[in-house]
Amino acid sequence: MKGLEQATGLLAFVRTVEAGSFSAAARLAGSTPSAVSKSVERLERQLGIKLFLRSTRSLSMTADGAAYYERIAPLLQALDDADEVLRDASNARGRLRVSLPGILGPILVDALTRDFVALYPDIALEISITDRHVDLVREGYDVALRAGEATPPDWITRPLGKLSLTLVASPAYVERAGDPASLDDLAKASHIRYLLGSRAFPIVFSDGTRLETKGALDTDSGQAMRIAALNGVGIAQLLRVAVADDLAAGRLIDIWPAMRLAPVPVQALHAFGRFPPLRVRLFNDFIAAALAQHLTRH
């Protein structure tokens, strides 16, 4: 009986945190605010800690409550998701919160809203487009797509392949600054550099040569790099798939096309362990298929 009471208290606690009040949690559970509050109080007594600070007008988590929620919420979500392992794709449902890198956002959002939504109408998509590396567990994301960065050891990685990088600049920049004729010329040119934290990524060629460059503009956004390149700020190292239309239209020019850059691995991450929910597996399969035509074999 004690285990059942604790499970009830855990559900009441998590629902209250996510809904923001006992009243809102009660509405979600089809219960009463008093019953939800009492379940949380019993859980607090069993744990010997205060999870909430209560007043007549507000309800806020204690530091212990916040730490407990971070550990418990993913476990309860995993229980909710467990039955999805047995479902087929036609029964896929639930909210799917995903993080996509900005430079790939336009390509992937087009495919997701055109095809994925039609294939799986009962999956409610929530898409965040950011180049920031989100914390899947702490921030409540189901899956994140990343290019190039190593994976935290406690998250599950699905490698999707590698995408080609290219050096590009606008015709106006090339006319003004000239085409670099050597590595030394390239190093001295004006560059639009990608930042991760405080670190600017170097240019890395497929033969392992690394070139440190001077930043005319540094940013943590691939999309901002593309716009700056279009506006003639300098040379940008970008995913070829993200600038393919610009190259075809002549808005950007390949700089040193004969010198191949080291490709970037792309991976999908989740924190569900060996058995992710069906909606996550379907999303990863879809993204893998959407990117397949753009992957490089080199």
**Residue-wise pLDDT tens for the chain (298 aa)?**
344 445 677 888 888 887 788 887 777 677 888 888 888 888 888 888 898 888 777 788 888 888 888 887 777 766 666 555 555 566 678 889 999 998 888 889 999 999 999 999 999 999 999 888 888 877 888 999 988 766 666 688 899 999 999 999 999 999 999 989 899 999 999 999 998 777 888 999 988 899 989 889 999 888 999 999 999 999 999 999 999 999 999 999 999 888 899 999 999 998 877 778 889 989 999 999 988 888 887 6
258 lies in the same domain as 270: no
Q: Pick from 150, 133, 259: which is nearest to 205 by CA?
A: 259
Same domain? For 272 and 151 the reply is yes
pLDDT digit string (tens) for 82-122?
Answer: 555 555 566 678 889 999 998 888 889 999 999 999 999 99
Q: Is the dihedral of CA 110, 112, 117, 122 positive or negative?
A: negative
d(CA 54, CA 288): 47
Q: Is residue 44 part of a domain?
A: yes
Query: Quick check: is 233 in a domain?
Result: yes
Residues 48 and 10 in one domain: yes
- Please state whether the predicted TM-score (pTM) of the whole model is above 0.75: no
Range of the domain at 132: 92-162+266-292
CA angle 292, 297, 298 (to 5 degrees): 145
- Report phi then psi at 74, rounded to 5: -65, -30
Is residue 298, in this structure, part of any structural domain at all? no
49 and 64 Cβ atoms separated by less than 8 Å: yes
Tens-digit pLDDT profile for residues 221-252: 889 999 999 999 999 999 999 999 999 999 99
246 and 223 Cβ atoms separated by less than 8 Å: no
- Any domain includes 297: no
Assigned domain for 106 exists? yes
Q: Say if residue 51 is in the same domain as residue 34.
A: yes
Which residues lie closer than 8 Å to 16 by C-beta, 6 or more apart? 22, 24, 25, 36, 40, 52, 59
CATH of the domain at 200: 3.40.190.10
